[in-house]
C-alpha cells in the first residue's frame, strides 16, 4: 500500500520528478560509462604488458631480472621443462627464450636494442610477435640469419627488408660477440617503444652468436585463465628451488601495470562516490520539498492514526522509485554507450605520443567489469536511501496540530 502511494506521489509533480531523475540518470550513466572506459584503459595495459613477452608467469635463473646478463642464464632448461610438464594445467603453453641487451648497427646508425632468441612455433602461441609481422615473414625454426625488427626501429635505422643488421653483445666468456643478420620481417606493435626495443632471432641463432649451449634466459608461461597465476606460480616454486630459480607472476613482472591497476581501482570508486555526492544534494532537496508541501497531508494521516514508521516507509518508497527509475534508464544509457563503442572504440591516435608516454593504447575500448556495475548501482541505491532518511524522519515528526495549521 505504501509502495502504491509512493509511486503515485512522485507523479504529483512530474516536472520535479523528471528533473531529479535526470540527475540520477546522468550520474549513473557517468558511473557506468566512464567506469568502463577506465577499465578499458587498464585492461588493455595489462593485455599489452602480458603479450609483450611477459606471459602470466616467468621463470628465470635467480638474479637475472636485476642483472640481465648472459651468465645469469638458466643452465639446465630441461629441469624447468620437466617441472612444467608435471605442474602446468593441460592447456597452458610455455616457451623458452634467450634474451640479451645488445647494440644494433648498420652502415649509418647504431643504437641499443634487446635481442630476443625465440622458438618460433611456441612463441607464436604466447606473445604478440606471432601475429605482428606486417612485412616479410615470421621466423622459421632453424633459420640462423633472419632477424625481425620493429617498424619504428627500421625507420630510425633507415633500413628495410632484406638489408643487413649487425648485432653486438657480450658472450658467455665476456668477449664482444657480433653477428650480422638479414632483416626478414618487420613487425608492428601497440606501443612504439616495443617496436624500438625488441629484435627477434631464433634461439639457435642467438645461442650460436653468444656461444651458449642449450641455456635459456627465461621461460614464459601463458595460462588459459590468468586468475590461476598465483596458484600455478606457487606450485612451481615448490618444485624449482629458490636458490637457483625466480618464479614470478605478471603482477611482479609488470610493477608499473600493477600500480596503474591499483590507482584505477581506487579512482573508479572515488568517481562513483563523487558523482553520488553531487546528486545526493539534489535527492535530499527534492524529497524535502515534496515532504514539506504535503505537511498538511502528513498531519492528516497522523491524525487518522498513522504510525510515524509508516510515514518513513512511504517517503522512502518515493525515494526508492525515483532512484530505481533513474538507475534503470542510467544503466540502459550506459550500456548503450558502451555497446556503441565496442567495435570502434575511442580513437586517440591524434595524441599518440602522449598515449605512448602514458603507456596507453591508441584506441580505447570500454570494458565492463560486473563488480563495477554492481558497485555503482549499490552506491546509488543504498546511499540514496540513506540520505532520504533525513526528509523521511522530518515527515514522520510533524505533529498533527502543527501540520494542519501550516499553510
CB of 62 to another protein, least distance (A): 17
Of 92 and 355, the one with the shorter C-beta distance to another protein is 355
Are 253 and 54 in contact by the 8 Å Cβ rule? The answer is yes
241 φ/ψ angles, rounded to the nearest 5 degrees: -60, 140
Nearer to another protein by Cβ, of 75 and 356: the residue is 356
Position 279 contacts another protein (CB under 8 A): yes
Query: What angle do the packed helices 370-378 and 14-51 form, to 10 degrees?
Result: 150
How buried is 22 (Cβ within 10 angstroms: 0-12 exposed, 13-18 middle, 19+ buried)? middle
User: Is residue 67 close enough to count as binding another protein by CB under 8 A?
Assistant: yes
Give the CA radius of gyration of the chain: 31
Give the C-alpha separation, 204 to 117, whole Å.
7
Q: Where are the alpha helices (DSSP H) in 88-213?
A: 120-124, 129-132, 151-156, 192-197, 203-210
Please identify, among the stretches 75-83, 245-253, 284-292, 378-386, the one whose residues bind another protein according to the rule CB under 8 A: 284-292
| Contact status: 382 vs another protein (CB under 8 A) | no
Q: Please select the residue that binds another protein; options are 5, 7, 26, 306, rule is CB under 8 A.
A: 26
Q: With contacts defined by CB under 8 A, name the span among 4-12, 121-129, 232-240, 348-356 that binds another protein.
A: 348-356
Note whether 352 binds another protein by CB under 8 A.
yes
4 binds another protein (CB under 8 A): no
- For another protein, the binding residues in 141-160 under the rule CB under 8 A are 156, 158
Task: Look at residues 61, 81, 53 and name the one whose alpha carbon lies nearest to residue 212.
Answer: 61
- Report DSSP letters for 315-326, one per residue: HHHHHHHHHHHH
The nearest distance, CB 355 to another protein, in angstroms, is 7
Is there binding between residue 204 and another protein (CB under 8 A)?
Answer: no
Among 340, 351, 401, 405, contact with another protein (rule: CB under 8 A): 351
Binding residue (CB under 8 A) for another protein from 44, 105, 184, 319: 105
Residues for the chain: how many in total?
A: 407
Beta bridge partners of 201: 117
282 vs 400 by CB, closer to another protein: 282
Comparing CB distances to another protein, the nearer of 170 and 244 is 170
Q: How far is the CB of 21 from another protein (least distance, A)?
A: 9
The whole-angstrom separation of Cα 122 and Cα 70 is 22
Part of the chain binding another protein (CB under 8 A), chosen from 45-53, 195-203, 236-244, 270-278: 270-278
Q: Is residue 407 involved in binding another protein (CB under 8 A)? A: no
Q: Pick the closest to residue 116 from 190, 54, 46 (CA basis).
A: 54
Is there binding between residue 22 and another protein (CB under 8 A)? yes
> Is residue 168 near another protein by the rule CB under 8 A?
yes
Examine residue 183 and tell whether it contacts another protein (CB under 8 A): no
Helix, coil or strand: residue 66 = coil
Judged by beta carbon, residue 90 or residue 349, the one nearer another protein is: 349
Q: Is 214 in the site for another protein (CB under 8 A)?
A: no
- Separation between Cα atoms, residue 276 and residue 383, nearest integer Å: 8
DSSP state of 382: I
Distance CA 239, CA 87 (A): 9
C-alpha cell at 12: 504529483
Q: Which is nearer to another protein, 238 or 354 (CB)?
A: 354
Does the footprint of another protein cover residue 169 (CB under 8 A)?
A: yes
Query: Under a CB-based contact definition with an 8 Å cutoff, are residues 380 and 323 in contact?
Result: yes
Binding another protein (rule: CB under 8 A), the pick from 354, 378, 399, 401 is 354
Give the residue with the Cβ less far from another protein, 282 or 345: 282
Question: Using the rule CB under 8 A, is 19 a contact of another protein?
Answer: yes
Query: Is residue 14 a contact residue for another protein (CB under 8 A)?
Result: no
Using CA atoms, how far apart are residues 225 and 276, in angstroms rounded to an integer?
35
Tally of CB atoms within 10 A around 383: 18
Least distance between another protein and beta carbon 360 (Å) = 8
Among 375, 190, 358, 384, smallest CA distance to 265 is for 375
Is 337 a binding residue for another protein by CB under 8 A? The answer is: no
Question: CB atoms < 10 A from the CB of 172, how many?
Answer: 16
Chain residues that interact with another protein, rule: CB under 8 A: 15-16, 19-20, 22-23, 26-27, 30, 34, 67, 69, 101-103, 105, 107-113, 156, 158, 168-170, 174, 176, 255-256, 259-260, 262-263, 271, 274-275, 277-286, 288-289, 293, 348, 351-358, 360
Amino acid at each position: 500500500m505504501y509502495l502504491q502511494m509512493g509511486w503515485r506521489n512522485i507523479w504529483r509533480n512530474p516536472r520535479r520528478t523528471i528533473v531529479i531523475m535526470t540527475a540520477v540518470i546522468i550520474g549513473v550513466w557517468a558511473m557506468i560509462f566512464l567506469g568502463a572506459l577506465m577499465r578499458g584503459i587498464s585492461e588493455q595495459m595489462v593485455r599489452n604488458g602480458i603479450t609483450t613477452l611477459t606471459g602470466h608467469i616467468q621463470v628465470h635463473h635467480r638474479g637475472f631480472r636485476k642483472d640481465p646478463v648472459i651468465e645469469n642464464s638458466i643452465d639446465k632448461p630441461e629441469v624447468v621443462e620437466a617441472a612444467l610438464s608435471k605442474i602446468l594445467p593441460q592447456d597452458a603453453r610455455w616457451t623458452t627464450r634467450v634474451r640479451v641487451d645488445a647494440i644494433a648497427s648498420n652502415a649509418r646508425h647504431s643504437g641499443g636494442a634487446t635481442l630476443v632468441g625465440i622458438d618460433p612455433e611456441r612463441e607464436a602461441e604466447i606473445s604478440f610477435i606471432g601475429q605482428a609481422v606486417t612485412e616479410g615473414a615470421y621466423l622459421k625454426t632453424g633459420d640462423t640469419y633472419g632477424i625481425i625488427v620493429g617498424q619504428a626501429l627500421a625507420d630510425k635505422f633507415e633500413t628495410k627488408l632484406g638489408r643487413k643488421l649487425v648485432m653486438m653483445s657480450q658472450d658467455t666468456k665476456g668477449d664482444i660477440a657480433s653477428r650480422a643478420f638479414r632483416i626478414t620481417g618487420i613487425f608492428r606493435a601497440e606501443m612504439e617503444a616495443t617496436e624500438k626495443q625488441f629484435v627477434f632471432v631464433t634461439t639457435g641463432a642467438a645461442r650460436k652468436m653468444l656461444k651458449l649451449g642449450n641455456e635459456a634466459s627465461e621461460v614464459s608461461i601463458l595460462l588459459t585463465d590468468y586468475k590461476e597465476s598465483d596458484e600455478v606460480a606457487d606450485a612451481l616454486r615448490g618444485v624449482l628451488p629458490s636458490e637457483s630459480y625466480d618464479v614470478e607472476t605478471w603482477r611482479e613482472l609488470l610493477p608499473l601495470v600493477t600500480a596503474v591497476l591499483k590507482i584505477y581501482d581506487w579512482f573508479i570508486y572515488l568517481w562513483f562516490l563523487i558523482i553520488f555526492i553531487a546528486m545526493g544534494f539534489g535527492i535530499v532537496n527534492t524529497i524535502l520539498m515534496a515532504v514539506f508541501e504535503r505537511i498538511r497531508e502528513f498531519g492528516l494521516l497522523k491524525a487518522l492514526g498513522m504510525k510515524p514508521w509508516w510515514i518513513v516507509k512511504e517517503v522512502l518508497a518515493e525515494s526508492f522509485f525515483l532512484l530505481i527509475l533513474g538507475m534503470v534508464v542510467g544503466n540502459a544509457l550506459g550500456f548503450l554507450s558502451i555497446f556503441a563503442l565496442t567495435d570502434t572504440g575511442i580513437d586517440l591516435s591524434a595524441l599518440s605520443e602522449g598515449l605512448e608516454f602514458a603507456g596507453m593504447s591508441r584506441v580505447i575500448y570500454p570494458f565492463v567489469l560486473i563488480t563495477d556495475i554492481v558497485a555503482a548501482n549499490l552506491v546509488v541505491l543504498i546511499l540514496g536511501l540513506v540520505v532520504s532518511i533525513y526528509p523521511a524522519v522530518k515527515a514522520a515528526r510533524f505533529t498533527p496540530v502543527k501540520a494542519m495549521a501550516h499553510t
